[in-house]
Structure 1
Amino acid sequence: MTSPRNFLLIALLFIGYLLWMQWQEDYGKSPAVAGTSASTASTATPTAPPATVPSGADVPSASSGASPVPAPTTTAESASTRSGQHVIVDTDVLHVEIDTRGGNVVVADLLAYPLQPKDYQHPMRLLDGSDARFFQAQSGLVSAGGAAPDHQAPYTAEKYAYALADGSDTIEVPLTWNDASGVAVRKVFVFKRGSYVVEQRQEISNGSSAAWTGNAYRQLQRVPPVIDTSGIKGYSNIERYSFVGAAWYSPTDKFQKLKFDQFAKEPLDKPIADGWAAMLQHYFFAAWIPAQGEIDQYSTKTYVARAADGSVANRYLIRTQSPAINVAPGATYTDAARLYVGPKLQSTLDQIAPGLSLTVDYGMFTVIAEPLHWLLAQLHKLTGNWGFAIILLVLLIKALFFKLSETQYRSGAKMRKLQPRMQALKERYGDDRQKMNMAMMELYQKEKVNPLAGCLPMLVQIPVFFALYWVLLESVELRQAPFIGWIQNLTAPDPYYVLPVLNGLVMVATSMLTPSAGMDPTQAKMMKIMPVVFSVLFAFFPAGLVLYYTVNGGLGLLQQWIITRRIDAGEKAAAA
């Protein structure tokens, strides 16, 4: 895959692939996500903004077995006007702030992932309580006839700062809510050392004289992140190619996802057993994971939150809602779930919940990309450097396709030897394409050359090429990973453009060994300017991707040069 023709073909295929994905998103028929009942299947898209809180008036009794249906509301308040005191929790991997207004997780900083390389004073903030970057993990209770604290209810905290002490592996953060009727709720968050999973319990104590019936719900609500897509730099911004939106999973329906601009067109209202609900973005995500065995009512709808002055931006939510809960007078019931807020570490996510590793979305190349990611991770364990792991991975892929590449290069070398004779045929027949093609076929048959022999090996390798592209694009392990010397961030462009220039030189050298017979003048000019075009494009691509292309091209050039010399030597020996 090193000749300019091959690069051009790959570029065209890649552009076609991106266009196809966009066409599927805009015009392709999406799978139905409505519930199985007739009433759910016929539900129309609401004209008013859907509720941020499930309606207590629609909560059924515990014996009915049904789940409440979220009802629309007309207004919502901004974060600044709906905020209590913040309870701060610090572990070895997380800085979290919990708002006493609702008991929601409103801030989550990932301490091991700085915004800029090695700048750990400014970590990646995934959850954010500000209006401009609003992203919160909310939870609450609703009841048809009794008191219940939703995600806007005021809670009381025992203290407002927690830190994981040396020698301790767990922190428990309790919040309490009490009603005059005797119903009390204790919301407890449990943090563990080295973990991005936050366990949550909602303990319902019914001190009233009547049975309490209601439902627990948990939801993720956010505004879409702002991604720079302007200019050439925006075109090469890898964040724009990663999926951003909501996702959910169940053993029955498997992994499903929904972009923000599709919320109104494809509302989700469906009972799901043993699943989870998430909001995804490049490298990171948050997910609510209900207790296994529950039938959860997921309601994913467009949510536009507006204050009275209309100052709040568009928001979207995905909600998981428990079956009906019945708590007898004097009894206590605990509803539990887990919140994951952290990086897409593919090797550990399925240990947290089934299917959670699918949040690392490789699209249609998943079946090839997952083994490649595993192999890259093993090579990193061996080398301790992601750059060297990429180089070793290229070597292994080259070894795997060695025979195919050898066939391709041998065919190219033979075609190169025929160039003078092919040029003579072109001059003899001039514009008579039919006679020239017939003469060339006779020449191929006489010299036992198959002009298509160099195409099949390349076509076989193209799926691997695309799969590896997505592995390098989506792997959070490579985020800000240093290589050597001037390259201290494999996910950022080469600061001195050394790799793009080297890649251009490799392409120029390769083109000198590549047969150009049969090209028209326009094609010949394109082949000459392609190294320059690719060097400019690669100047804005992540260094890890350009490292792969450069090493792959360099090895291909070496292999092609050796094969060409062997063929030349063999012909000289035969002539002697």
Structure 2
Amino acid sequence: MEQQRPLLYLTLIFLGFMIWTQWQQDHAPQPIIPATSESTNTAAQQNAPKADTTLRNASNVDIPQQASNAQQTSVNQDTTSQNTTQGAIISIKTDTLDIQINTYGGDIVHAALPAHPISLEEPDVATVILDSKKYYSAQSGLNHNKINGQDTSNLAPTHHATYSSSKGNYALKNGDDTLVVPLIWDNGKGITVTKRYTFKRGTYLIGVEHEVKNNSGQTWSGFEYRQLRHAPVVKKGSFLSGAQAYVGPAYYDFEDGTYHYEKLKFGDFNDPDEKLDKNIKGGWAAMLEHYFVSAWIPQQDQINTFYSTYIPSNVPSYIIGLKTPNIEIASGASHTFKDGFYVGPKDQASLEAIANGLDMTVDYGIFSIFSKPIFWLLKMYHNVFGNWGWAIIFVTLTIKLLFFWPSAISYKSMAKMKKLAPKMKEMQERHKNDPQAKQKAMMEFYRKEKINPFGGCLPMLIQIPVFMGLYWVLQESVELRQAPWILWYKDLSIMDPYLILPLLMGASMWLQQKLNPPQMDPMQQKIFQWLPVVFTVMFLFFPAGLVLYWVVNNILSMAQQWYINNKIIDNK
């Protein structure tokens, strides 16, 4: 029927969206290093005593300089991928983190999350976030201001300096809430730096300090820097892959009375006009991954210069970081630089408590307006039932109740059209050779019978934003990663292993069509007959949680439509 054309077009647009989003999943951005998560974890476990030197280079172009040297930093080429200096690996285990620190640089070169396995099939293999073997590491250090152009590298430990440690293994013991790992650097001329990592039970936030003691007989002048270094991320095949969960650098700042969350493009790092070079009070700098994030968090009352740097090499690197203003330490005095470093899941409640805006790394993109209230509802019901599957069902029920009366108006209109279908068919036959007369007669018929020909679109219009919002909640919210429901549904964020829900979805869609007015146009009839099959095939590959929503929504819609048809309209 003519009045069903908008619904048909809307359905086709929705199909296009599903094809589009599924394409994203198949063409996700991947680091150019071909190592897999599984092999990375296995290699890390087998080779833990060995120090990795992948990110070392002799040219030191990845060390931030004073402002006068900043331009030089961005154009020098990193021609050496390894350095022959061999550090030692320090292993740290807490209840939340498995960390490896290399004494060369004193930096975290490996960070794994034992509470977040890479898959349910391999529960003992932790997800790895930082891994220098995959060109992803957190670096920090001190840099001394140059004196008349002289080399002052022995006055401050950059991330190319070598520290000493009294132990090679640390573990957070039962009954302890804090674990401190100190590293010592001494230039033998009165400058001693203690780089101190502080781990606390139940958190992924690490305290990082650089304590400078100056007994050199001269004033020490320098600054602290903290940065994240990442290999480039490439996209496979299509411009469509831009809708995949964002992977890359981001920062947060306060400017003109407003907080800003900014994502950076790797492609802009080599553009002098687009490079980050900005003084920011508080804020943070981060690298985002799917479900996980690492971020440097300075003292929030401190002003830092945020910067980005491109390091050309056989494997290029992109750096986002921040550095303090110059600090002068008189001889006989000391000073401690204090920071926070977060490496862990994008748990929204935890991130929000750590720093302003850090929860924005849970990036729902343009669908945030739908995803955020849906997640809030999901979390509320999860607190009641302790199960994300039941939470999805009750969110669906809540949305259905909220939109009951708007949907009821639509279903009434559709039911009335179904009753009047014979008259409309007769009218179409009478004017079948005159499209304009047919259209005019149909509009007059709608007016006389008080029918809204677009009423059938409303249930779909309501469903589409909820579908998109829930899709991105499942894509981005680590709380739903590997979340079980019942029976064989061990992970609602992946496809149904036995395809039961997609088949139920197709069957419910077919039954729902039987409650709608019959199609008069033969072409539309054929298209609508095939839609349940097409949707079923598409939904085979979607997260089980998303299909669960659709099945429950279809069942509730059929119940609502039956009630309206049999209890309201028939009683009039």
Pairwise TM-score range, normalised by the shorter structure: 0.7 to 0.9
**1:120 counterpart residue number:** 123
Structure 1 residue 197 corresponds to structure 2 residue 205: yes
1:245-260 matches, cutoff 5 A: 245-252=248-255, 253-260=259-266
Once the two structures are TM-superposed, the CA of residue 564 in structure 1 deviates from its matched residue by: 2.1
CA 513–427 in structure 1, closer or farther in 2 if over 3 Å, else same:
same
User: Is the Cα contact below 8 Å between 1:50 and 1:73 reproduced in 2?
Assistant: no
Identity %: 43
**Corresponding residue number in structure 2 for 1:99:** 102
User: 2:303, 2:22 → 1: CA distance?
Assistant: 37
Go from structure 1 to structure 2 and tell me whether the alpha carbon gap of 1:460 and 1:384 turns closer, same or farther (over 3 Å shift). Answer: closer
Alignment partner of 2:393: what SS?
helix
Which residue identity is paired with 1:497?
Answer: L
Alignment match, 1:55: 65
Q: Is the 8 A contact 1:50 1:301 kept in 2?
A: no
AA aligned opposite 1:261? G
| Residue number in structure 1 paired with 2:112 | 109
* Match in the other structure for 2:420: 418
Q: Matched residues in 2 for 1:230 and 1:83: separation?
A: 40
Q: Which residue of 1 aligns with 2:32?
A: none
Deviation at 1:129, TM superposition (A): 1.8
**Distance across 1 between alignment mates of 2:307 and 2:202:** 32
Deviations 1:222-256 (CA, angstroms, capped at 9, x unpaired) = 124688x689xxx9x9x972111111001224111
Deviation at 1:260, TM superposition (A): 2.6
Provide the residue aligned with 1:85 in structure 2. 88
Residue identity opposite 1:401 in structure 2: F
Indicate whether 1:389 and 2:391 are aligned: yes
CA distance in 2, matches of 1:193, 1:6: 51
Deviation sequence 1:400-438 (CA, Å, 0-9, x none): 111111111111111222222222222221242110011
Does the CA contact (< 8 Å) of 1:175 and 1:186 recur in 2? yes
Distance 1:57 1:411, change over 3 A: closer
Q: Spell out the pairing of 1:37-436 with structure 2 (5 A cutoff).
A: 51-55=61-65, 58=68, 70-75=73-78, 77-78=80-81, 84-117=87-120, 119-130=122-133, 133-145=134-146, 146=152, 147-224=155-232, 241-252=244-255, 253-265=259-271, 266-304=274-312, 306=313, 310=314, 313-436=315-438
CA deviation after TM superposition for structure 1 residue 17, in Å: 9.8
Instruction: Report deviation, 1:369.
Output: 2.4
Structure 1 stretch displaced more, 147-156 or 277-286? 147-156
**3-state SS of the aligned residue for 2:311?**
strand
Give secondary structure in 1 for the equivalent of 2:197. strand
Q: Distance in 2 between matches of 1:321 and 1:215?
A: 7
Q: Is the 8 A contact 1:70 1:299 kept in 2?
A: no
Residue number in structure 2 paired with 1:11: 15
* CA separation of 1:125 and 1:155: change in aligned 2, threshold 3 A: same
**Aligned counterparts of 1:230 and 1:16: Cα–Cα separation in 2:** 13
Match of 2:99, SS state, is: strand
Aligned-pair Cα RMSD in Å: 2.8
TM-score normalised by length of structure 2 = 0.84
Question: Secondary structure of the residue that 2:290 maps to in structure 1?
Answer: coil
2:248–2:288 contact (8 Å) kept in structure 1: yes
Contact 2:21 2:243 in 1 (8 A): no
CA distance in 2: counterparts of 1:6 and 1:51, whole angstroms: 54
The SS at the match of 1:298 is: strand
Give the Å deviation of 1:69.
8.4
**SS of match in other structure, 2:196:** strand
In the other structure, the counterpart of 1:41 is: none
Partner of 1:64: none
State whether residues 18 and 538 of structure 2, in contact with CA within 8 Å, keep that contact through their aligned partners in structure 1: no
Q: Secondary structure at the match of 2:192?
A: strand
> CA deviation digits over 1:93-146, x for unaligned, max 9?
10000111101111111111001116332010001121xx22111001112234
Q: Is the alpha carbon distance of 1:87 and 1:68 closer, same or farther for their aligned partners in structure 2, counting shifts above 3 Å? A: farther
Give the CA deviation at 1:150.
0.9
1:296 and 1:320 in contact (8 A); partners too: yes
Q: For residues 245-295 of structure 1, what are the alpha-carbon distances to aligned partners after superposition, in whole Å with 9 as ceiling and x for unaligned? A: 111001224111123334335321111111100000110000000112221
Deviations 1:499-523 (CA, angstroms, capped at 9, x unpaired)? 111111111111222224454x333
Cα deviation 1:206-226 (Å, max 9, x = unaligned) = 121221111100000112468
Change (3 A) 1:386 1:275: same
1 CA distance for matches of 2:514 and 2:161? 72
- One-letter amino acid of the counterpart of residue 269, structure 1: D
Seen in structure 2, the aligned counterparts of structure 1 residues 127 and 225 have a Cα distance that, compared at 3 Å, is farther
| Residue aligned with 1:380, SS | helix
Cα distance in 2 for partners of 1:387, 1:80 equals 51
Of 557-566 and 170-179, deviating more is 557-566
CA–CA distance in 2 between the matches of 1:271 and 1:398? 48
Mapped partners of 1:154, 1:341: distance in 2: 23
C-alpha separation in 2, matches of 1:510 and 1:136: 53
Tell which deviates more after alignment, 264-273 or 438-447. Answer: 264-273
SS in 2 for 1:216: strand
Q: Which residue of 2 aligns with 1:552?
A: 553
User: Residue 387 and residue 115 in structure 1: after superposition, are their counterparts in 2 closer, same or farther (change >3 A)?
Assistant: same
Structure 1 range deviating more: 268-277 or 414-423: 414-423
**1:155-207 per-position Cα deviation (integer Å, ceiling 9, x unaligned):** 11111100000110111001111113322211000000011000000011112
The 5 Å alignment of 1:530-549 reads: 530-549=531-550
Which deviations, in whole Å up to 9, do the C-alpha atoms of 1:456-494 show, x marking residues without a partner? Answer: 564355434432332222110110111111211111111
Matched, 1:492 2:494: yes
- Partner residue in 2 for 1:24: none
Partner Cα distance (1:80, 1:534) in 2: 55
Which amino acid is the alignment partner of residue 222 of structure 1? Answer: H
Q: Distance in 1 between matches of 2:184 and 2:71?
A: 25
Q: 1:323 to 1:518 in 2, by over 3 A?
A: farther
Q: Report the CA distance between 1:6 and its aligned residue.
A: 5.5
**SS across alignment from 2:495:** coil
Amino acid paired to 1:264: N
Is the 1:482–1:488 Cα contact (8 Å) retained in structure 2? yes
Amino acid at match of 2:560: Q
Give the residue type in structure 1 aligned to 2:166: E
Q: Relative to structure 1, is the Cα distance of residues 379 and 276 closer, same or farther in structure 2, using a 3 angstrom cutoff? A: same
